[in-house]
Structure 1
Amino acid sequence: MRFFVTGEQKRQSLLNAIVLMFLGYIALLWITNGMMYFHKMSLTPDSVVSYYLGSEENFTQPKSYQSLLEVTHFHLFSMGILVLTLAHLLLFTPLNMSLKIWLTGMSFVSAVADEAAGWLVRFVHPGFAWFKIGAFLMLEFSLLALLVLVIISLVMQRLAQRERGGLERDGGMAAMAPSGGEGG
């Protein structure tokens, strides 16, 4: 992290390559997250209710307390780390601070809401299926927005660095630093 804070990353092409590979990895994670959701459910309340409460037609059982607990336990940690990492990278973009705060907050809230929604459908009321659908869509949108904004910022800063002639000095990769950051 000190590379981002001190501006040393301008001379660290490996660090920039790692950030780009991480963002590619997260893009694949985002795609498979959607694929997993649509493998189990659709954007209809009936499909969500059927998934969590079981279905006689499909011969499926309701989700158990233990099953939901295991998934929630893993997701709370992994999604927290994912959103924290993407939000941290977002801090180093030249975007408006209000947008950064709003998008980060939306990402954290939607990740928790997506987890809570399954519990609400299963143990409170099937009407929370709409909440599950909305939470899933908000989570996917917010993760995509974080991902795209960080990638665009990184690419734009690399192009600006190339125009200033800085790519030759730092080994071919420009820095991902806030606008007006320290010089190389």
Structure 2
Amino acid sequence: MRFFISADIKRNKALYYAVLAFLIFSLLFWIASWISFYGKYGLSYESLFKYYFMDPEFPQKISIAQISEDIHINLFLHGLMLLTLLSIFNLFGQNQNFKLFIILSSNLFALFYIGADLLIFFLEWPILLWLKLFSFIVYQLLLLFVILYNLYCLVLKDARPPKTKALRYFTFLFSLFFLLFLLSNFLNFFSKMGFGIEGIKDYYLGNPSLFIKPKTFQGVFKVFYPHLLTMALFSLLLTHLLPFAGVKKKKAIILGFSVFLFSFLDNLSSLLILFNPYFAYLKLLSFWAFQLTAIFLSLYVLVFSLRKEEYPAMIV
């Protein structure tokens, strides 16, 4: 992302209006987040308790598959949004300590908000419902401050070159979001299919003895279609951090291409299984290849962000 290390937003009119439009849409997303949270959980302890533990109309406990799906989506969505919003914020923040406080606290409460689902599911402590509600509210307030501050500074202030220390925090936190996203991918995959070939076949082709209905082409395509974009975007974001970690150009190209290829095959194989069950092997192999490659790159970027030397991408 150009504004990740650039302070020339106002001089580049196309970039200026693109960032302005993004901030306006972010504000709309912020409003929609409250509506979405209220519609799903409510805004009280009682409504949260009903969602997670007891609903008279649907007395069955929420499944780990649903929990993992929510975490999987939210880690990607909020990780991407935080990287973008805080990258802009980093160009305008005046006080370095305050800037770092906002960066760290917003990421921390986002992780509490997203991860509270797992804690509630496994520990079954009703008191953790307060963590879910409190972390959501604090995270949303921090997010609103960042959006409004960015809008104010974009219109009335001049951007400044970002500090290397803040960029290290960005790289560390975003690679951490990537790692958690990939771990949630394991949980999501396992909760639906397990890690065996037969489990994958049963999930897509059905199994009458286990009362599992086969997936329809329309149903699988509904998942395949958005993942074409989201996984390509994930691969782009991960590989675009490699120059900051000192990865040489040739290696970055090979590793980046591998992430794109494995993610595409993982996605495509879901459709192909409907036509031939042997594509379940491709599904399992491509899933593991993508996961391990992406985890390795995320860990590499995360470890490099903890080092003292200058970012190669910052050196002119």
TM-score, reference length from structure 1: 0.79
Aligned with residue 133 of structure 1, among 284, 291, 295 = 284
Aligned residues: 162
Q: Distance in 1 between matches of 2:239 and 2:300?
A: 10
The residue number in structure 2 matching 1:69 is: 221
Q: Distance in 1 between matches of 2:172 and 2:248?
A: 22
Q: CA deviation at 1:68?
A: 0.9
Q: Tell whether the 8 Å contact from 2:224 to 2:271 is kept in structure 1 after alignment.
A: no
Q: Distance in 2 between matches of 1:60 and 1:33?
A: 22
Identity of aligned residues (%): 24
| RMSD of aligned alpha carbons | 2.1
The residue number in structure 2 matching 1:172 is: none
Change beyond 3 A, Cα 1:5–1:91 = farther
Q: Distance in 2 between matches of 1:153 and 1:15?
A: 12
Change beyond 3 A, Cα 1:71–1:83 = same
Q: What amino acid does structure 2 have at the position aligned with 1:52?
A: Y
Unaligned runs of 5+ in 1: 161-174
Aligned with residue 18 of structure 1, among 144, 166, 170 = 170
Which structure is larger by alpha-carbon Rg, 1 or 2?
Answer: 2
Q: Distance in 1 between matches of 2:262 and 2:211?
A: 31
Q: Distance in 1 between matches of 2:171 and 2:233?
A: 15
Q: CA deviation at 1:81?
A: 1.1
Q: What amino acid does structure 2 have at the position aligned with 1:121?
A: I
Higher relative contact order (CA 8 A, sep 6+): 1
The residue number in structure 2 matching 1:38 is: 190
Aligned with residue 115 of structure 1, among 251, 267, 285 = 267
Unaligned runs of 5+ in 2: 8-160
The residue number in structure 1 matching 2:5 is: 4
Q: CA deviation at 1:80?
A: 1.2
1:101 aligns with 2:245: no
Q: CA deviation at 1:22?
A: 1.9
Q: Distance in 1 between matches of 2:226 and 2:186?
A: 17
Aligned with residue 27 of structure 1, among 166, 173, 179 = 179
Please give the per-residue CA displacement for 1:143-181, whole angstroms capped at 9, x wherever unaligned: 11220121122222xx23xxxxxxxxxxxxxx5x21782
Please give the per-residue CA displacement for 1:28-71, whole angstroms capped at 9, x wherever unaligned: 11111010111112332211111110011211111112211111
Change beyond 3 A, Cα 1:34–1:3 = closer
Q: Tell whether the 8 Å contact from 2:263 to 2:290 is kept in structure 1 after alignment.
A: yes
Please give the per-residue CA displacement for 1:112-155, whole angstroms capped at 9, x wherever unaligned: 10011111111x21111111110100110121122012112222
1:59 aligns with 2:211: yes
Q: What amino acid does structure 1 have at the position aligned with 2:296?
A: A
Give structure 1 regions of 4+ aligned residues with deviation exceeding 3 angstroms. 2-6, 12-16
Q: What amino acid does structure 1 have at the position aligned with 2:5?
A: F
Please give the per-residue CA displacement for 1:3-50, whole angstroms capped at 9, x wherever unaligned: 5368x44x2544432332222222211111010111112332211111
TM-score, reference length from structure 2: 0.48
The residue number in structure 1 matching 2:315 is: 181
